[in-house]
Amino acid sequence: MSEAATAPRELRDSELDGPALSARLARIWGTQRSIVGWLSSVDHKVIGRRYIVTAFLFLFMGGLTAIVMRLQLAQPESKLVGPDTYNQLFTMHGSTMMFLFGVPIGEAMAVYLVPLMVGTRNIAFPRLNAFSYWVYLSGGVFLWISFLLNIGPDVGWFAYVPLSGPEYSPGKRADVWAQMITFTELSGLAVAIEIIVTVLKQRAPGMSLSRIPLFVWALFVNSFIIIFALPAVMVASTFLILDRLIGTQLFNPAEGGDALLFQHLFWFFGHPEVYIIFLPGTAFVSAIIPTFARREIFGYLALVLSLIATGFLSFGLWVHHMFTTGLPQLGAAFFTANSMLIAIPNGLQIFCWIATLWDGRPVWRTPLLFVCGFFFIFVAGGLSGIMLASVPIDTQVHDTYFVVAHFHYVLIGGNVFPLLAAIYYWFPKFTGRMLSERLGAWNFWLAFIGFNVAFFPMHISGLMGMPRRVYTYGPEMGWGDLQLVSTAGALVLFASFLVFVWNVLASLRSGAVAGPNPWGAGTLEWATASPPPPQNFDHIPVVTHREPLWAERGGLPVVTGLSIRHRELVVSSVAEAEPQLRESSPAPSIWPLIAAVTVGATFIGSIFTPYAVLWGAPPIAAALTGWFWPKNTPEDEE
């Protein structure tokens, strides 16, 4: 193996200390204060913050579409919106929540927190990270501008053929859906690879596999699910575009194609997608519970193995979305068994969390309230999920409000409640200020009550036969009262988010100053200032325990020897995190943004003409060459 050590005389962090070292590192790792600097940033915290804020904006927009739908359904034969707008509304709601909020928010939190938690200075491939954000933003803006121009997709968030095919969906609405998928999945895949490599290669010295925080484990497993699942939806949406744009016959049964093929491809992604949304929830819960139980997690190994088992099993469930399509019964039986089996690792996690709280001395702050809300709602959703795993029950309630109730219990319970817990928990780290506990309690109780009032009655509406995706219903159906209750609940849930926004805005201005570790937590992100400086840590810590800040009370052991002339970080071995390299980390660059613009223009152009791919290729190639070409910075020349 032939690696070269650099010249012996280089300015190192062992030669400075204290504020002088901090200031110098902050200058090297910082983002320039100018528009170009802002657009060129490759700091995982800057990009993570943008991701989080953008994902929340999409959550609110998706929430607003839900409110309009709830108002429409509050009474029979309402005339608030017509069928065409309603079709666009539920498609926008589902697509926004799943593709612009559900997947990105987990990755967004990972982009900000994983590098801090593993004790490194930036994410792996930071320019790819910047690129992925711009691509994600472009995809989301593209979808919403299309909606505002009345060409929003109207074929449901899963856009089944033949409805979305060339025969039944003329115009560009279905193409907008399909191309939004291309944008968001490209960015999702890029971030997943960054997280995997950051966890494998950039952990602080000593952070062996058994010392990785559970938060990081969960997002690591999640990234693996993403790289195996997301290509399926990209293949499905690409095939759909090809059928629509250049006349391929992949989904056309009249010419040897097959319509169910789309459903197979879609759900091969779509079911793991549920876990892609849920695993970040478990990550937040596993980080929050030890801090507020004031003891380390119970059953660490069982929790890690549960995450991995969930990852594998999530790929064996997709057909349970297709029980009513007439597939062979033997196949259906296998997927029923698997759908029930996955309850075991998930149940095991819940028991480990409860055991941790049981043996701890719980401190009842807002994050823990939301975690308890998560237990209640997610377990309820899990129980209706076991009901739906059974073919006879599924056949009865397929495409009814029972299913709508089930997946909102699972998704809001499994993702949004833990996410709000996470925001209350890490807001002090992100901003340096505490959120208000009083408003937090209001936020929680309004959300918890509003959610259950909105969604519990939907189980009954569904059992009474109310189908999904209907824009209205007759008074004789008898669903009106339950629907009115659901709408009232939805408004309360919406109010809880207004309280949340108020809390965030007020606390940003005048919240209590947090300090580095306001909760007395044990993981590495709390070992640095709030908000963290650009370099994250002045010295790279050495990890001796799963809760390093609880184990090393006299101050963390650290390593030295990194350059303070340019951006450099420690690359370590996969299993034991033994330091292997001092590798330079890329400096800020405008090229990822330029590359994202060329890629975005090509994607959007290809809705209209296949030649856009030919015209787009040279600018994309030029942008990527500009990105990779060395720039005479010390980082590039190392």
581 to 600, contacts with another protein by CB under 8 A?
A: 581-584
Nearer to another protein, 93 or 539 (CB): 539
Q: Which is nearer to another protein, 47 or 620 (CB)?
A: 620
- Phi/psi at 541 (5° precision): -75, 160
The interface region with another protein, picked from 52-60, 212-220, 245-253, 372-380 by CB under 8 A, is 245-253
Q: Does 516 bind another protein (CB under 8 A)?
A: yes
Shorter beta-carbon distance to another protein: residue 510 or 632: 632
604 secondary structure, DSSP code: H
Least separation in angstroms between CB 507 and another protein: 23
Measured from the CB atom, is 189 or 458 closer to another protein?
189
- 210 lines the binding site for another protein (CB under 8 A): no
Identify the residue whose tokens are 């596993």: 286
Which among 290, 460, 448, 282 is positioned nearest to 377, based on CA atoms? 448
Beta pairing class for 568-572 and 579-584: antiparallel
**In the bound complex, what is the minimum distance in angstroms from residue 34's beta carbon to another protein?**
27
Closest CA to 441 of 420, 467, 462: 420
Stretch that binds another protein, among 154-162, 324-332, 380-388, 522-530 (CB under 8 A): 522-530
**Is residue 330 close enough to count as binding another protein by CB under 8 A?**
no
Among 212, 366, 240, 193, residue whose Cα is nearest residue 292: 366
Among positions 422, 570, 599, 607, the unique one binding another protein when judged by CB under 8 A:
570
Kindly give, in sequence order, each residue whose CB lies less than 8 Å from that of residue 97, ignoring residues fewer than 6 positions away. 58, 59, 62, 157, 411
76 binds another protein (CB under 8 A): no
Smaller CB separation from another protein, 69 or 232 = 232
Angle ∠(392,394,395) on CA atoms, nearest 5: 65
Q: Determine, following the binding rule CB under 8 A, whether residue 520 of this chain makes contact with another protein.
A: yes
Residue from 235, 341, 441, 506 binding another protein (CB under 8 A): 235
**Longest CA pairwise span in the chain (Å):** 85
Nearer to another protein, 93 or 365 (CB): 365
249, 325, 395, 609: which one contacts another protein (CB under 8 A)? 249
Binding mask 345-384 toward another protein (x if CB under 8 A, else -) reads --------------xx------------------------
> Does 181 contact another protein by CB under 8 A?
no
The answer to whether residue 337 forms part of the interface with another protein (CB under 8 A) is: no
For another protein, the binding residue among 162, 231, 478, 619 (CB under 8 A) is 231
Interacting residue with another protein among 52, 143, 176, 192 (CB under 8 A)? 192
Should residue 4 be labelled a site residue for another protein when binding is judged by CB under 8 A? yes
User: Which residues, other chains included, contact 504 with Cβ-Cβ below 8 Å and sequence gap of 6+?
Assistant: 423, 427, 435
**Closest distance of CB 116 from another protein, Å:** 13
Pick the piece of the chain touching another protein (CB under 8 A) from 186-194, 270-278, 397-405, 464-472. Answer: 186-194
Residue 547 CA to its chain's centroid (Å)? 25
Quick one: 206 or 450, whose CB is closer to another protein?
A: 206
255 binds another protein (CB under 8 A): yes
Binding residue (CB under 8 A) for another protein from 59, 73, 181, 230? 230
Judged by CB under 8 A, does residue 205 bind another protein? yes
**Rounded Cα–Cα distance for residues 528 and 243 (Å):** 53
Contacts of 163 (CB under 8 A, 6+ apart): 155, 156, 169
216 binds another protein (CB under 8 A): no
Q: How far is the CB of 72 from another protein (least distance, A)?
A: 38
Q: Quick one: 235 or 491, whose CB is closer to another protein? A: 235
Positions in 448-507 near another protein (CB under 8 A): none
User: In the complex, what is the shortest distance from the CB of residue 293 to another protein, in angstroms, rounded to a whole number?
Assistant: 9
Contact call for residue 554 and another protein (CB under 8 A): yes
325 near another protein, rule: CB under 8 A: no
Residues 110-149 that bind another protein (CB under 8 A): 124-125
Q: How far apart are CA 63 and CA 497, in angstroms?
A: 10
Residue closer to another protein (CB basis): 272 or 480: 272
Q: Pick from 284, 310, 232, 318: which is nearest to 105 by CA?
A: 284
Question: Nearest distance from residue 238's CB to another protein, in Å?
Answer: 9
Q: Which is nearer to another protein, 249 or 324 (CB)?
A: 249
Q: What is the DSSP string of 193-222?
A: HHHHHHHHH-PPTT--GGGS-HHHHHHHHH
Amino acid identity for residue 65 in this structure: T
Which of 146, 169, 263, 291 binds another protein (CB under 8 A)? It is 291
The neighbour count for residue 347, using CB atoms within 10 Å, is: 13
Binding residues with another protein: total (CB under 8 A): 99
What DSSP line would sit under 99-158, residue for residue? IIIIHHHHHHHHHHHHHHHTT-SS-SSHHHHHHHHHHHHHHHHHHHHHHHTT----S-TT
Quick check: 531 and 125 in contact, CB under 8 A?
no
Q: Which listed range, 63-71, 107-115, 225-233, 380-388, lies at the site for another protein (CB under 8 A)?
A: 225-233
The tokens for 354 are 């409860």
Three-state DSSP class for residue 541 = strand
Spatial distance between the Cα atoms of 628 and 631, rounded to a whole number of angstroms: 9
Chosen residue from 30, 362, 488, 636 binding another protein by CB under 8 A: 636
Out of 24, 49, 172, 264, which residue is the one contacting another protein (CB under 8 A)?
264
Residue 314 structure tokens: 């999530």
By CB under 8 A, residue 215 contacts another protein: no
Question: Which runs of E-coded beta strand occur in 562-606?
Answer: 568-572, 579-584
Nearer to another protein, 490 or 620 (CB): 620
Site string for another protein, 295-324 (x = CB under 8 A): xx----------------------------
Q: What does the DSSP assignment read for 357-402?
A: HHHS-----HHHHHHHHHHHHHHHHHHHHHHHTSHHHHHHHTTBHH
CB-nearer residue toward another protein: 15 or 399: 15
Structure tokens at 627: 């990105």
8 A C-beta contact, residue 335 and residue 319: yes
Q: Which of 35, 246, 301, 330 is in the footprint of another protein by CB under 8 A? A: 246
Least Cα distance to 178 among 160, 192, 190 occurs for 160
